A and B are shown apart, each in its own frame.
Chain A
Amino acid sequence: GAGVSQTPSNKVTEKGKYVELRCDPISGHTALYWYRQSLGQGPEFLIYFQGTGAADDSGLPNDRFFAVRPEGSVSTLKIQRTERGDSAVYLCASSPAGQYEQYFGPGTRLTVT
C-alpha cells in the first residue's frame, strides 16, 4: 500500500516568508508525528497528533511554528516569518493505533535564503 507522502519534496523560500508543509499519513493511521532533521544530526521531535488533537507539541521551537490535522488524516506544518535557521529536512511519520512502530515519509527539504 501507499506509504507516508510529503509535499513538496523541496521548498526554497526567502527569509521572512510563510511556508506550509504537507503530510499524508498511511490510511487509517491514527498517530502522526513531525520531526526536523538538520545536517549531520538525527531527527528532532516537533509535535505529535493523536487523531485531530495535538497530544504533545513540546518540540515546537517557538510560536512561529504551528501544525494542524483538522480531519485526523492529512497534517500541515506551518512556519511563519521563516529564518535561515529553519532550513532543514522536515520529516513526517505515522503509526497505527496501539502500535509503536513509526513509518516515515521521504521528508521536505526546506531552504531559507
Chain B
Amino acid sequence: SQELEQSPQSLIVQEGKNLTINCTSSKTLYGLYWYKQKYGEGLIFLMMLQKGGEEKSHEKITAKLDEKKQQSSLHITASQPSHAGIYLCGAFQGGSEKLVFGKGTKLTVNP
C-alpha cells in the first residue's frame, strides 16, 4: 500500500521567516492534496496538484509537485501566527477514491 512520509514532523519558526514542508510518496503520485488542520477542527483544503511540475499558490502558500521524485513541497513565505497548525499531505491510493495521508507536520509560528 502507498505510504506518505512528511518532513519535518514539527517545525518552530519566528514570524516572518520562510519555511518548507516536504511530502514523499512510496509509490507513483496520481494527485497530491495539502490540507491544514487546527486542534479540534476538521481539515481545511489548501490545494490539489495533479500534474508533474505543477505549482499552485494561495496567498503566501505555494505547493509544487515533482512526479519523478514522487514528492511534493509546501512553501510558506513570510510566515504569520495564523499559519500555525498541522499540515497534512494526502494522495489517492492508485485506482481508488480513498485518500492516504501522511502523519502531518506541526507548525508553530512565534510572534
Contact = CB atoms under 8 A, between A and B. Distances in A.
A106 interface: yes
**Contact residues on A (Cβ < 8 Å of other chain), bracket:** 20 to 34
B103 A40 contact: yes
Contacts of B96: 56
B99 A56 contact: no
B97 A55 contact: yes
Contacts, number: 61
B98 interface: yes
Contacts of A107: 40-42
List 8 tightest A-B contacts by C-beta distance, closest first: A42-B101, A45-B98, A104-B42, A104-B43, A106-B42, A43-B101, A105-B42, A42-B103
Interface of A: 4, 31, 33, 35, 40-45, 48, 50, 55-56, 58-59, 91, 93, 100-107, 109
